[in-house]
Structure 1
Amino acid sequence: MRQYRSDKVPANPAETITRAIIERLEAGVRPWRQPWAGGPVSRPLRVCGTPYRGANVIWLWMAAQARGFASPTWMTYHQAQLLGGQVRKGERGTLAIFYKSYTKEVENPGTGEREDEARRVLKSFTVFNVDQIDRLPERFLPVTMPLPELNERDGALDAWFAAVPARLRHGGGEAYYMPSTDEITMPEIAAFRSRDHYRATLAHEMAHWTGHASRLDRTLGNRFGSDAYAMEELVAELTAAMIGAELGLPVDHLDDHASYLASWLKVLKTDSRAILTAAAKAEEASAFLLASQARGQAQEAERLAA
């Protein structure tokens, strides 16, 4: 007999996630700031070690933060059993989401013929954090990793950002991306509280850079109308959080875009799937930046070897 408590699977998981995010935002908390310290920063991980994507990243960060979990790894009850583990008595599961694709036969209104139509439906399942499970193999035990020496780390991070082929200039007192010139403007590094604060802000502006028509061609206006600007800022902030998780940037160096809170709340309260859209767009943007950086690094290596 199962010895854990699992909340009833919600009929609409998108609404469940959105309500929780709205509650955090109204309390002044950005739920996409990953919660744990003392180890390498990470996206939430599946039992096989691959990272979760999209809205699951934000949602599982929120769950870990709210319940004090130190491990980034999550698994189902059955997966824990297969590993010889046991979810502790009284532990409550957390939902995770996925899209299930299927086909449905519908009538074509033009021809009257029956044809298959591809559809997707949002589903959810229950997962548990490693911190809730006993008797797992040692590889799931938390490992505290020391940060590399400051100069070594700074050099690696500076090289990472330099390899992204975005046009960047320094000057003035504001950070922004200008689509008309396809250029990022940043204040000098000395104007920031720390180099990591500078990097997190640059990641935010690089996220905007990915949306240019020559890259991801990100358009949100058709769906969100006058709220598209706030949605783009939300996409950029989520992208910066995801890039920060990849690079190990500290959790408290994402800027407080307080002026956007009201706009984000308005959009989320109007459309329960808006956060899913923003998270998916941020996933695309972070993947594009990672790929662009890798290409730029390879090209620089080829140039030096020539």
Structure 2
Amino acid sequence: EAQPERVQKLLDRFKVPEMRDTQGMYAHGALDRMVAEQTWLCPIQADRKEKGAYYSPSRDIVVLPMKQQFNKGATPEDIYRDGMEFYSTMLHEMTHSTMTPERLNREAGAKFGDPKYAKEELVAELTAAMISHSMGFDSKVTDNSAAYLDSWIGALRQEPKFIVSVMADVNKASEMILDRVDAQRISLGEQPYLAKNDPLMAPLEDEICPFRNAAIIKTRSGDFALRASYNGVDLGVKPIERSTARMYFQLTDQREKDIFLGSAIRKNYESEIAGIDRRASKSLSIV
């Protein structure tokens, strides 16, 4: 399969379909099916009115308010987004349920506000935000995580060593959750989020990013840019669209990120790369 078609397939996978329930709220078929068939690692209760969402380690159960309780919007767009808030909350509590010894074995704090408790809250909220990005949720949903995260960062200043392992824990929890979500997506005839679960996205070695120091960076002006080097030559920094950067950061699978980044570099530095290749070919012919 040609590279442009594969890259387009990758982009199409992360477009959010306009799925609405009978109330006009966003609906996620795979997560709904997971709850309906109880295929998560522990039971998820979401069919009773509750004052809040939580994970109970002693009962090993995720408890959520009913989806209707999140329906507080004044406009159709707000109501649609309220559905995303429900699933984001679900993902947060599902992450907490991965901490048990037989799963990912994270140590939770003994009391509210201590460093270990704060670390677990950061892991849960960052995981929910990362997966929400992968699912293409509205940016206002993921922006709501910022204030929540700020409230816990102060507690971690007492134990800065925890910061080092936060992202490792987030990546492990994200993969565990997305593996289960992908199983439901495949059953529904939808493409999985993780490349390793997609039989149509078989590895192609020539699509792995061959560039050095390759990255998408945020500039001082707040815009985004590419940087990379090729065959020992610095390609410099080139501005890119914010939508391109956002798409890249939404990806959670490292191989997909490498493929996407390599494609973006080839597209934006096409003339520079061709020039380097020509000079290299000329040098070889002289030798």
**TM-score under structure 2 normalisation?**
0.46
Higher relative contact order (CA 8 A, sep 6+): 1
**TM-score under structure 1 normalisation?**
0.43
Q: Please identify which structure carries the higher helix content.
A: 2
Q: Please identify which structure carries the higher strand content.
A: 1
